[in-house]
Structure 1
Amino acid sequence: MTDSHYEALGALLGRGGVLRGADIGPRYFTDWRGEGPVRPELVLRPATTKEMSQILAYCHRESLSVAVQGGMTGLVRGAVPQPGEVVIATDRMTAVAAPDVAGRTIVAEAGAPLQAVQEAAEAAGLFFPLDLGARGSCTIGGNIATNAGGNRVIRYGMTRDLVLGLEAVQADGTVIDAMGSYIKNNTGYDLKQMFIGAEGTLGIVTRAVLRLFPRPQSQAVAYCGLDSFDAVVGFLAHMQTTIGASLSAFEVLWSATYDAICEKVPQVRAALPRGHRFYVLTEMMGSDGARDPERFEETLGMALEQGLLADAVVSKSDAEVRALWELRDGMAHAMGAERPIVSFDISLAVSDMADLEQVLSDRLRAHMADPMILIGGHLGDGNLHLAVRANGVAPEDQPLQAIEREVYALVGARRGSVSAEHGIGLSKRAYLPQSRSPQEIAMMRSLRGALDPKGILNRGRIFG
């Protein structure tokens, strides 16, 4: 990177807007997976949409490739800089406006942490339902770029369902103002959707109008033990039928995963004895604080009478709600503790999940003697998190690619998604054809070529 680039970009961004050399800390080249040994030569930190437009226009003119960064909490190496790339970070664009209570919307800049939006909504008596374990670190721009999912998709949908409008800057610096704040708008193409889930390859989101909801007046959580997958499916149908739209989460853990949490995560307490084949956390959020808890328990009682549940524990306080969710969230910690491990984020039809553990185990035995398979996730929306550890195999010898090929081949054969909510990034691009047809990929390439003809935005992400 030449001195002239540094000087020109410094003139556009001012003091603190450009970092160089030793001033660039690991925060700008290391993600949550600890990957990314390439220190970028320049980090650009625009504070406004105008500055974002100016620096992109310059990078486009000079053919400088850029890596776009939010909170660096991604798991597919989408924001880790590659050799020769300039980093554009949104960490100075963190404003969150006061919510529009009547319209139930809130405007946030791309670098605003998800938790800041949640708290601003709560202070106004409203609710922003997107929720991830990384809520304090991940950013709204990153959530939009990856179309983040999280714990309550079953009721409120993915990020794209929560974005009413947005502002984005194209590769050449053109600002797209699509900051509508209404649900219905059938005036041609819904341009905002092009930027949601595009992983920064079509433009950089700078602001968004987000949809808020009435704050729930009740929250009840149960942890349940079940002894067959048919019972899990039947219990999901039972909850959807009896409490309907009030069902806000339906999370499942396979028995090996529950055991790993109990053994490897000291800060959580087991809610139920070990020994059941499956464990389900289910949650109801309603509008009747007096009646809803009783209704929730009645619904669980019916499931017990029908033989769907073998055991269950129900929250009696806010502290118990948090404790039960901490037990569910312990899955990520348990998977991380079982190293060396290969992790996956997949979607399948619920009917294709029943034999998943056994089929994978049979396939992986061709590559290792005793595979450990941990499975759990958002069964209510078809998203499972899966981790495979080769017991007794040294990290440097673990057949990483063989494990990936087996898992993604199975997902592709069952017409699932190789990435349910984390995106493709650099890590999964070789497996994109397992979930997308050649015609779909060709159309994606055409769209990218039209909006970023020089290919400077997040080059190599999604597809090479």
Structure 2
Amino acid sequence: MQSLLNDIQKVVGTQGILTGDDVTQRNVDWLRGESCQAAAIVRPADTDQLAAVMALCHAANQPVVTHGGLTGLVHGGRAAPDELVISLERMTAIEELDTLAGTMTVQAGVPLQKAQEAAEAQGWQFPLDLGARGSCTIGGTIATNAGGIRVIRYGMMRQQVLGLEAVLADGTVISSLNRMLKNNAGYDLKHLFIGSEGTLGIVTRAVLRLQPRMTSEETALIAVPSFEALSHLLALMRQKLGGNLSAFEAIWQNHYRLLTVDSGRHTPPLPAEYPYYVIAEAQGIDEEQDAKLFNSTLESAFEQSLVSDAVVTQSEGQRRAIWAIREDIEGLLAEFSPLFTFDISLPIERMARYVEDLEASLAARWPDTGRMVVFGHLGDGNLHVSITVGRDDTETRQAIERLVYAPLAVLGGSISAEHGIGLEKRDYLGLSRSPQEIALMRTLKQALDPKHLLNRHKVLNGAYHQ
């Protein structure tokens, strides 16, 4: 190992490699505070350095784990003592922003918020948005095919990437920095790497698709009397607002009450007596007309008894206060300890029954300590479920995972909507993918990384069977 590290240092320089306490003082899991156990952290400054490092690792049969912003929730950044971490934290350049074509070329270590701000400064927007925007990186969001709050309008990260560059396990550089929306010249190789969680290659640069910056924004917190009304409200807002509807975030009463009334962390804009709440947001380019359309849509919802109460924000401060309730993961950690988090998807019409059944199963297994809250991106079928039972051990975790995941196979859902598989969900992959699909995944892995050096044991390592 030391000989390899010496060779790597010759490539990346002394500032490009960390060892000892500089490694262990870093957390690889912000939710649980696990420290990094890797033999070293390698920090290449550009694609050429990374390619040279991977060539050395390939020759030495040295496994590596890729690190981005480390905001993931499925243990994708965990590294063993015999592994090296490849961190892209020094690759943070925004190389070009084409205001005519609406594209931005960035290195993989660029934080999402930095990309958003750069686009906005030039009259554009990069529409992907999520709570970890200040820490997560473009490379990480590509590797996990991140979603976030605006998927209902703009799609997942996959839809924002026109081209990318990646380094394979043996150091080969695949540079496919396409800038065109239309390019059907053979296989679109970028899709091999988007969502592959670093198991097929390490993304180093990307060409991102920008969208026109919206000049108006209407936001409301809405109280809804039933799940049926909730689903009809979504349909109504889609019909009335069309492409302007940019977010439709559902919050179950248990989540809303916990982070407002029970914890006192946020002032409740609406009473905590309603079963469901929605943060609805619409963006457009005509402030006066967009406001009229948004308000008339809410009036129609009231007339159809789809809404019990609502508050429309009148300032950016009010808007941020509402979104803070939805994004307060630190609050969940403070109130639910130890916390088990789940990111699932399923058909909207089956959500209410699924949540009710899960609550019942949790109460039956842990009648005194079991607690659960739910929120999610209803418009794209994604729910986030947070559970605590007062203890955290392997047996308890597996029991909770089975309660959450097992029903999804019957309901046509997925064990991962946007967070990926990593290590945490690996053994349940068979609930959401067929044996044929998993076999094809293994074929791709074998073809691109035959020595299994890239994020080994992540995503693929057997499948769950009931």
TM over 0.5: yes
1:378 match = 377
| Counterpart-to-counterpart distance in 2, 1:303 and 1:407 | 33
| Counterpart-to-counterpart distance in 2, 1:283 and 1:83 | 46
Q: In the TM superposition, what is the alpha-carbon distance from 1:399 to its structure 2 partner?
A: 2.2
* SS of 1:309 mapped into structure 2: coil
For 1:114, give the aligned amino acid: L
Query: Is the contact made by 1:91 and 1:111 (CA closer than 8 Å) also made in structure 2?
Result: yes
Aligned to 1:274, which of 272, 287, 311?
Answer: 272
Q: Deviations over 1:107-145 (max 9, x none)?
A: 110111001100100110110111111111111000000
* SS of 2:142 mapped into structure 1: helix
Question: 1:435 aligned to 2:432?
Answer: yes
Q: Deviations over 1:243-263 (max 9, x none)?
A: 111000000111111111114
Query: Is the contact made by 1:35 and 1:80 (CA closer than 8 Å) also made in structure 2?
Result: no
Query: Is the contact made by 1:345 and 1:385 (CA closer than 8 Å) also made in structure 2?
Result: yes
Question: 1:415 aligned to 2:418?
Answer: no
CA spacing shift, 1:26–1:283, aligned 2, 3 Å: same
Query: Structure 1 residue runs of 4+, over 3 Å off?
Result: 35-38, 263-267, 393-398
1:286 match = 284
Q: In the TM superposition, what is the alpha-carbon distance from 1:396 to its structure 2 partner?
A: 5.3
* SS of 2:277 mapped into structure 1: strand
Q: In the TM superposition, what is the alpha-carbon distance from 1:341 to its structure 2 partner?
A: 2.7
2:185 match = 187
| Counterpart-to-counterpart distance in 1, 2:222 and 2:395 | 35
Q: In the TM superposition, what is the alpha-carbon distance from 1:189 to its structure 2 partner?
A: 0.6
Query: Is the contact made by 1:24 and 1:43 (CA closer than 8 Å) also made in structure 2?
Result: yes
1:449 match = 446
Q: In the TM superposition, what is the alpha-carbon distance from 1:104 to its structure 2 partner?
A: 0.4
2:464 match = none
2:387 match = 388
| Counterpart-to-counterpart distance in 1, 2:157 and 2:235 | 25
Question: 1:10 aligned to 2:9?
Answer: yes
| Counterpart-to-counterpart distance in 2, 1:143 and 1:101 | 23
* Aligned pairs (5 A) from 1:9-408: 9-27=8-26, 29-263=27-261, 266-330=264-328, 333-334=331-332, 337-370=335-368, 371-390=370-389, 393-395=390-392, 399-408=396-405
Query: Is the contact made by 2:250 and 2:279 (CA closer than 8 Å) also made in structure 1?
Result: yes
Q: In the TM superposition, what is the alpha-carbon distance from 1:222 to its structure 2 partner?
A: 0.6
Q: In the TM superposition, what is the alpha-carbon distance from 1:333 to its structure 2 partner?
A: 2.4
CA spacing shift, 1:265–1:135, aligned 2, 3 Å: farther
Q: Deviations over 1:230-249 (max 9, x none)?
A: 00000000000001110000
Question: 1:461 aligned to 2:462?
Answer: no
CA spacing shift, 1:396–1:160, aligned 2, 3 Å: closer
CA spacing shift, 1:369–1:267, aligned 2, 3 Å: closer
Query: Is the contact made by 2:92 and 2:108 (CA closer than 8 Å) also made in structure 1?
Result: yes
Q: How does the TM-score come out when normalised to structure 1?
A: 0.96
Q: In the TM superposition, what is the alpha-carbon distance from 1:23 to its structure 2 partner?
A: 3.1
CA spacing shift, 1:424–1:263, aligned 2, 3 Å: same
Q: In the TM superposition, what is the alpha-carbon distance from 1:366 to its structure 2 partner?
A: 3.9
Query: Is the contact made by 2:216 and 2:284 (CA closer than 8 Å) also made in structure 1?
Result: yes
Q: Deviations over 1:379-411 (max 9, x none)?
A: 011000001222xx4445982211111110012
Give the gaps of 5 or more residues in structure 2. Answer: 462-466
For 2:429, give the aligned amino acid: L
Residue-pair matches, total: 460
Indicate the percent of aligned positions where both proteins have the same amino acid: 48
| Counterpart-to-counterpart distance in 2, 1:398 and 1:312 | 43
For 1:80, give the aligned amino acid: R
Q: How does the TM-score come out when normalised to structure 2?
A: 0.96
Q: In the TM superposition, what is the alpha-carbon distance from 1:367 to its structure 2 partner?
A: 1.9
* SS of 1:399 mapped into structure 2: helix
| Counterpart-to-counterpart distance in 1, 2:291 and 2:387 | 38
CA spacing shift, 1:345–1:332, aligned 2, 3 Å: farther
* SS of 1:262 mapped into structure 2: helix
| Counterpart-to-counterpart distance in 2, 1:440 and 1:141 | 25
| Counterpart-to-counterpart distance in 1, 2:20 and 2:425 | 30
